[in-house]
Amino acid sequence: MPSPMAIQSASPTPSMFRKKSTPALNTAASYLSAVSEADARARAHGSTPSSTPALSLSSSVTSSSEDTVLHELDDETDNGLAYPKVPPTSEQIFTTVHTEFGHCANDAYRHTSQYNTEHPVKSVQEQDPPYYILLTTYISYIVVIFFGHLRDFFGKRLKAAEYRHLLAHDGYAALNSDFDSFYTRRLKLRIDDCFSHPVTGVPGRTIMLLDRHSANYNKTQILSGTRTRGLNVSSYNYLGFAQSKGGCTDASVECIKRYGLSACGSRREGATLDLHVQGEALVARFLGTEDALISSMGFATNSTIIPALVSKGCLVISDELNHASIRFGVRLSGANVRMFKHNNMKALESLLREVISQGQPKTHRPWKKILVIVEGLYSMEGTLVKLPEILELKKKYKFYVFVDEAHSVGALGPHGRGICDYYGINPSQIDILMGTFTKSFGAAGGYIAGSKQIVDRLRLTGHSGAYAEAMAPPIVTQVIASMASLMGITLSNVEKSSSSRSLLPRHSDGPLQLVNTSECAAYPGTAASSALPPWMPLPQSMCDGSDSSMRLRRLAFNSRYLNRALRKLGFITYGHDDSPVIPLLLFNPGKMAVFSRLMRARATPIVVVVVAYPATPLVTSRVRFCLSASHTKEDIDTILQACDEIGDLLDLKQGAGERWPLHEIMARAVELVKMDVCP
Amino acid sequence: MSTTSTSLEPLFSILSQTYSTLETTFYKLPGSAVVARYVKSSHQNDPGRTLLEIILILFAIRTLLQSRTRADNSGKHFVQFDEKEIDDLIDDWTPEPLAAPLSAKEQAELTNSPVIVGATGPKPKLSNGKTVTNLASYNFTGLAGNERVKERTIECLVKYGLGSCGPPGFYGTQDVHMQLEQDIADFLGTEAAIIYAQAFATISSVIPAFCKRGDIIVADRGVNFAIQKGLQISRSTIRWYDHNDMKSLEQVLENIEKERRKKKGPLTRRFIVTEGIFDHDGVMSDLPKLVELKLKYKYRLILDESVSFGSVGRTGRGLTELYNVPASQVDMLVGSLANGLTACGGFCAGTNIVVNHQRINGTSFVFSAAMPPLLSVAASEGINILRNTPSILSTLQENTRAVRAIFDKVDCISVPSHPASPMIHLHVRLPSPTHLLPMVPASPALSSSGKPSNPHSPIPRDPEVFDGDLEERILQDVVDEALAQGVMITRAKRLPGQELVEVRPSVRIAITAALSKKDCEKAANVVKAAFIKVVGKRR
């Protein structure tokens, strides 16, 4: 009879794809012994405790290595995710849990996300696949559509009961007709195991999937009760603030104790807390705008604010790939809409010339105002908006610019302030900066920033101020804590004498001198400690900006590394080299499901997002990697290894250009990232 | 003559040679025989037919190639300009400012809501240092600041982190979300439920998920702003019935049925959209009658219980519990987790088909990040507490009755809200005969002329007459006066010019179970005194 331990550690879903490889340090015992050996070595050399950077003031942040890896012992631990491949030396003390935020002390694996004016990194030319790939893609769709209709035809006659809700019955029209739902039932359902996968725990560097299976071809899914931890390249966690341990969580816990869960109502009907006011001031300071407002849902920020900006007689010029929330908002506003080809400035200019000269349709009256809406970073394409060129056009054509920074804020720029920071553009040149807190800040909700006049007007006429519930206090706290740590905190004069937060000069992680009192007023400046809630505990590393500088530079390295490495392996990817969102083109719809399943079934499972029509054009089905500062270089290597193998299997390496073998890419990673232009 | 023909001979021979090679290669292609036979049979020695077909094919190609986003450059409204003229026009054009500066009144409007320092609750502290009694915040069940909820959410926070970092479709669905959906469905007695990240964004996404162009929606004239936006985005055909008037509803349904029979059009989806307790005035719907009508005329019912869920019924299940109507009779039951359970977000409960449909078609569900896990846990725990503590709702009802007893007797206040509604709207009633305002009846009666309103317009036949600006000023004075006396209330904030029908200004009171009956009465008396004082001054 096997011991209970054996049952626990058995792989929950034995898969034919799972490889039986045993990565080094896969058990707690071997890891611990490595750690204690390292400690012993260090003690023999007599290192001083002053070299430990993580002097924490917050009591619940522990700096013991044991605590940061042995988080959940009952987890399956044979997949090489729970322990770093290289054990830390005693000089390297990590305060994060390795499964949430990977341990990576090597300072070479850092980069700065910044626009290089001398050697501008161009978005890669979108490559077309060979014709046989396109042809087989179309044939695949034709086959599934044909069989879908065939099954519907016979199904309606043979199994009428199952089709009842799709057809009119008892005098009710079908809620969702068989024709409208065809795509969902006959195409998406086939690969439904790749979508809406339930998870538990922190969506950090790794994520815990709740295993499920289906007995009726994905119509319903049954949870089997087991769990699988996978490397997470699917969550929007750019800066790795999705953590259950750390300064932000401690601050939110303290907030719940003090404030409870809810602000109880809408902002203008008596639910404005001091936290909201502080949060809005901080957001404005972070972005370098006069004022900002925050709203409790990112989607609703666009859909409730755009109608307050434009109305009938105005024109919205929208990039064709803008997010659904923008389209929703524009539709509510009643303004006219015109679209231009994605990121194509020539198309934008010729459209502008046409619409301004023609005026409103039929009447030819001049437009009241023209609002150009673009996104900073397009989450399906990985492309960056060509903001400098848009601002050039703005001077001549006098339109207003609305930049949706849902994905770019925090993720881009040397200071993480988003697309303006990346290009080195003064944010006051942009009329409206919108963004969300879901992605980089690990919170929820969105913001609108701009001049005081505009933001005040939107507070008054935007729908959310009067009707939508205010942001919950712990969420605001997460925003404040993560944002303040990105900015670095300076003490106000009063506090300098009797300080509760003793600020030491920042540590050596990076050339950015964030803490500098004279810089306080300038953009990108620091947060004044007087502007933060006095009860908010933040560890030293978060106050002096060293923690967030490390996050920003790790994300920049990871993004460039995976982007360029995938291209060097021969894959077709879209987007900008510095984008943390990397779409890898699969084309054939069938490959989506296989890719996703193969990645999930590896010895080290990798969790990816696959996207297809209608989110993308019909032929360009893709898998999307969302990188995070929490990934280590080894994690990226793991992903590359997996892509390399699966890429060969699925015939995905169709890209043009010079190719490097995998081992060379992994060895020359730093060189690859530091190149101005990828050869 | 002959010279030209001889000189052209090689050309002709080349042409005929190419033709024959083309013909043979064409017939070598698989399936070419079929095409040839089709062309021959459709030609039928009639060149006109062939010409017509060729034109059709060309037209189809042209339509396919035409970009959908292009405007009608060739249309009759397009004016041709040369580059110079375009440049001049561009130089001439001066846009309006993106946002007009605020007027003094608007500035005051923006700053007149107080800022709470620290936790909100029945007795919050304001930024001026005063502690006040709170009759403004939605905290019906008194769950704000509940220690058990706090404990559970902290447990969740240190296990899950704060954000969900992704939309539900892409690994944003946590087990706690599924648990909450199950809890809501069990609590209400429906097959399933789906949660949205914000209450306000829920119904404006639920309506367009089901109602498309060509569908018929019959809606109440007094529906809230979120519903109005949902109706707008659905692009369905909308018919209106008088606010909370079941006779008017029946009439409208009957007329649509007659029209349909006359036209013999295809069967379309038909919906009735209304609220449980109306956000605008606190009036309560007659649910049994609604259900009877929707079954009779074969409509689906979309009921917004944003206010009534967690505030009426024995355990706070809402209107279905109050009227003892099975929740399965309501096709789409939409509610708020923010008002009744003091968490955040909204939900839609219904059958599995209704819920699963939204998982792919609910815009603000699909394209938005999932709710932070700790807020789901807070809502789940809230439901748990409501289920086990019926005394919360009975306290709330007692408090409501006590407060209503005070306001109902004041001359200068009229209360449109239902006696059981813990959200109470107070209109000011100006008795002065010199004033132009007529005495407005407390409940909206049938139009006095007896004729029904036009169902195509949201504006009723005999709209309520009121002086909005004046009443707003009076009510704001009342709010300020009450605050000075230590009771925080608020005017119901609206978006002037954006609502379909201008709503009569009111003070909105939200009763809470967290205050004792005595405190409630005391606070209500303060509000009453403020009304009498402010209205008295005007006299």
Q: Are A55 and A173 within one domain?
A: no
Closest in A210, A234, A357 to B86, CB measured: A357
Instruction: Quick: pLDDT tens for B359-390.
Output: 999 999 999 999 999 999 999 999 999 999 99
CATH of domain B147-388: 3.40.640.10
In angstroms, the separation between the Cα of residue A472 and the nearest Cα of chain B is 7
Interchain contact, A475 vs B224, CB within 8 Å: no
Task: Tell me which residue range forms the domain holding A625.
Answer: 109-181+207-236+545-679
Higher pLDDT, B51 or A518: B51
Closest in B101, B137, B160 to A202, CB measured: B160
pLDDT band at residue A306 under the 50/70/90 scheme: very high
Q: Are A333 and A473 within one domain?
A: yes
| Chain A residue with Cα closest to B507 | A269
pLDDT band at residue A121 under the 50/70/90 scheme: low
Q: What tokens appear for A133 in the block?
A: 């790939």
Instruction: Quick: pLDDT tens for A444-456.
Output: 999 999 999 999 9
Kindly state the percentage of chain A with pLDDT values over 70: 82
User: A316 forms bridges with which residues in the sheet?
Assistant: A337, A371
Q: What's the pLDDT score for residue B73?
A: 54
Interchain contact, A469 vs B344, CB within 8 Å: yes
Cβ atoms of B133 and B522 closer than 8 Å: yes
Question: Is A492 part of any domain?
Answer: no
Residues of A in contact with B85 (CB under 8 A): 357
Residue B257, amino acid: E
Q: Are A430 and A414 within one domain?
A: yes
Q: Return the minimum-mean-pLDDT range out of A376-390, B249-263, B441-455, B513-527.
A: B441-455
CA B258, distance to chain mean position in Å, is 29
pLDDT band at residue A13 under the 50/70/90 scheme: very low
Report A:580-639 residues touching B (Cβ under 8 A): 607, 609
Q: How far apart are the first and last CA of chain A?
A: 59
Is residue B456 scored above 60 in pLDDT?
Answer: yes
Q: Are A134 and A1 within one domain?
A: no
Cβ atoms of A414 and A552 closer than 8 Å: yes
Instruction: Quick: pLDDT tens for B121-160.
Output: 999 999 989 999 999 999 999 999 899 999 999 999 999 9
Does A432 touch chain B if contact means CB atoms closer than 8 Å? yes
Task: Determine which helix (DSSP H) or strand (DSSP E) holds A483, and give its type and residue range.
Answer: helix A473-487
Interchain contact, B145 vs A260, CB within 8 Å: yes
Q: What's the pLDDT score for residue B4?
A: 60
For the stretch A477-513, what's the b/e string if a residue is b when 16 or more beta carbons lie within 10 angstroms of its beta carbon? bbbbbbbbbbbbbbbeeebeeeeebebeebbebbebe
Q: The CATH number of the domain where A324 resides is what?
A: 3.40.640.10
Q: What is the CA radius of gyration of chain A?
A: 26
Please report the DSSP string for B417-470 in residue order.
S-TT-SEEEEEE----TTSSPPPPPSS-PSPTT-PPPPTTSSS-SSPPP--HHH
Is residue A19 scored above 60 in pLDDT?
Answer: no
- Across chain A, mean pLDDT equals 84
**Closest by CA position to B200, among listed A266, A310, A294:** A266
Cβ atoms of B463 and B449 closer than 8 Å: no
Interchain contact, B153 vs A609, CB within 8 Å: no
Question: Is A514 part of any domain?
Answer: no
Interchain contact, A265 vs B233, CB within 8 Å: no
Q: What tokens appear for A74 in the block?
A: 């009952």
Please report the DSSP string for A138-164 in residue order.
HHHHHHHHHHHHHHHHHHHHH-GGGGG
Number of domains in chain A: 3
Q: Are A36 and A167 within one domain?
A: no
Interchain contact, B161 vs A257, CB within 8 Å: no
Instruction: Quick: pLDDT tens for A70-112.
Output: 455 455 555 778 778 777 776 677 778 888 898 888 888 999 8
In angstroms, the separation between the Cα of residue B312 and the nearest Cα of chain A is 18
Q: What's the pLDDT score for residue A44?
A: 58
pLDDT band at residue A52 under the 50/70/90 scheme: very low
Interchain contact, B77 vs A362, CB within 8 Å: yes
Segment A453-481 shows an average pLDDT of: 94
| Chain B residue with Cα closest to A198 | B173
Q: The CATH number of the domain where A117 resides is what?
A: 3.90.1150.10
Residues of B in contact with A263 (CB under 8 A): 116, 120, 137
- Phi, psi angle pair for B213, to nearest 5°: -55, 135
Q: What's the pLDDT score for residue B258?
A: 92
Q: Are A482 and A594 within one domain?
A: no
Instruction: Quick: pLDDT tens for A636-662.
Output: 999 999 999 999 999 999 888 889 999
Q: What's the pLDDT score for residue A123?
A: 58
Segment A587-609 shows an average pLDDT of: 93
Question: Is A5 part of any domain?
Answer: yes
Domain boundary among A103, A125, A152: A103
Q: Are A85 and A151 within one domain?
A: no
Q: Are strands B332-336 and B300-304 parallel, antiparallel or unpaired?
A: parallel
| Measured distance CA(A284)–CA(A449) in Å, rounded | 6
Question: Is A529 part of any domain?
Answer: no
| Measured distance CA(B479)–CA(B531) in Å, rounded | 9
Q: What's the pLDDT score for residue A85?
A: 76
Is residue B207 scored above 60 in pLDDT?
Answer: yes
Question: Is A254 part of any domain?
Answer: no
| Chain A residue with Cα closest to B360 | A184
Residues of A in contact with B144 (CB under 8 A): 260-262, 264
Q: What's the pLDDT score for residue A122?
A: 65
Q: Are A276 and A403 within one domain?
A: yes
| Measured distance CA(B264)–CA(B253) in Å, rounded | 16
Distances A159 to A578, B150, B301, B357 between C-alpha atoms, Å: 53, 50, 29, 21
| Chain A residue with Cα closest to B337 | A469
Residues of A in contact with B260 (CB under 8 A): none
Mapping DSSP onto H, E and C, the string for A439-456 reads CCCCCCCEEEEECHHHHH
Higher pLDDT, B41 or A247: A247
Question: Is A576 part of any domain?
Answer: yes
Cβ atoms of A455 and A281 closer than 8 Å: no
Burial class (CB within 10 angstroms; exposed 0-12, middle 13-18, buried 19+) of A137: buried
| Measured distance CA(A607)–CA(A596) in Å, rounded | 7
Q: Are A419 and A453 within one domain?
A: yes
Is residue A584 scored above 50 in pLDDT?
Answer: yes
Q: What's the pLDDT score for residue A175?
A: 87
Residue A556, amino acid: A
Instruction: Quick: pLDDT tens for A564-582.
Output: 999 999 999 998 989 999 9
- Please count the other Cβ atoms lying within 10 Å of the Cβ belonging to residue A545: 28
Task: Choose the mutation target among B165, B356, B358 for the interface with A, i.e. most A CBs under 10 Å.
Answer: B165
Instruction: Quick: pLDDT tens for A494-510.
Output: 444 444 443 433 343 43
Is residue A514 scored above 80 in pLDDT?
Answer: no
Residues of B in contact with A436 (CB under 8 A): 369
- Phi, psi angle pair for B149, to nearest 5°: -65, -45
In angstroms, the separation between the Cα of residue B467 and the nearest Cα of chain A is 21
Q: What tokens appear for A131 in the block?
A: 């014709």
| Measured distance CA(B205)–CA(A507) in Å, rounded | 48
Residues of B in contact with A242 (CB under 8 A): 161-163, 165
Complex confidence, ipTM? 0.86
User: A11 forms bridges with which residues in the sheet?
Assistant: none
Q: Are A383 and A401 within one domain?
A: yes
In angstroms, the separation between the Cα of residue B150 and the nearest Cα of chain A is 6
Instruction: Quick: pLDDT tens for A203-251.
Output: 999 999 999 999 988 888 999 999 999 999 999 999 999 999 889 999 9
Task: Determine which helix (DSSP H) or strand (DSSP E) holds A372, and give its type and residue range.
Answer: strand A370-375
CA dihedral A283, A285, A288, A289 (to 10 degrees): 70
Q: Are A428 and A561 within one domain?
A: no
Burial class (CB within 10 angstroms; exposed 0-12, middle 13-18, buried 19+) of A190: middle
Q: Are A282 and A420 within one domain?
A: yes
Domain boundary among A70, A103, A136: A103
Is residue A256 scored above 80 in pLDDT?
Answer: yes
